[in-house]
Amino acid sequence: MRWAGVVLAVVAFALSGCGDDGIDGAQFVEAVTLERAYTDGRGEARDVNTTMFLNALYTSERELPVTLPSGTQAVLADVSTINDGRDPFPLEWAVFTARTREGRTLGEKLRQGPRRVTDKEQVVSVGFAVPDGDEVTEVRMRSIVDVWPFRATLKPPRDDDT
């Protein structure tokens, strides 16, 4: 039954940008589900079941609190997490990288604190210094802890006609 809620949430998100004329212009997202039951460092049991997706990828129009190399632009990836487990997904255990059309792998330059959207959903913005003329084709996430060695690849939203 958890999947039904996740599918409805993803469909609702995908359709939320539509106009009155149905699904024209809708953005579709590919979601990744990460589940894990583990015991934390204090000996407390944790149960995480979260669905993650890349809901937006855009060039920052405002100045960021980091210095970027010359010849690059700040591209932000908004990553949504929908927590269906008892415990939230531990974002502090993740590191993000971006892959570009030119085959580059870029490390994150900035991570803003998560913004709460609903009781279950939050969005974290991760920034990358993308060389001028290149573009991000996917965002990868991997664990930095041994307790849960997760990996995920998040694809940008795509138009319904691609």
Q: What is the pLDDT of residues 44-55, one digit of tens each?
A: 999 999 999 999
The CA distance from 126 to 66, in Å, is 12
Nearest CA to 142 among 151, 155, 134, 133?
Answer: 151
Rounded (10°) CA dihedral 3, 11, 137, 68: -100
Q: What is the pTM of this model?
A: 0.78
Element of type H or E holding 60: none
* pLDDT digit string, tens, across residues 18-44: 333 334 444 667 899 999 999 888 999
| pLDDT value of residue 3 | 39
62-72 pLDDT, tens digit each: 767 777 889 99
What distance in Å separates the CA atoms of residue 141 and residue 157, rounded to the nearest whole number? 17
Cα–Cα distance list, 30 to 48, 83, 98, 126 (Å): 20, 16, 16, 18
Dihedral angle sign, alpha carbons of residues 3, 4, 5, 11: positive
Contacts 24+ apart (CB under 8 A), 64-68: 64/110, 64/127, 65/110, 66/109, 66/110, 66/127, 68/109, 68/129
Tell me the pLDDT tens digit for each residue of 76-130. 999 999 999 999 999 999 999 999 999 999 999 999 999 999 999 999 999 999 9
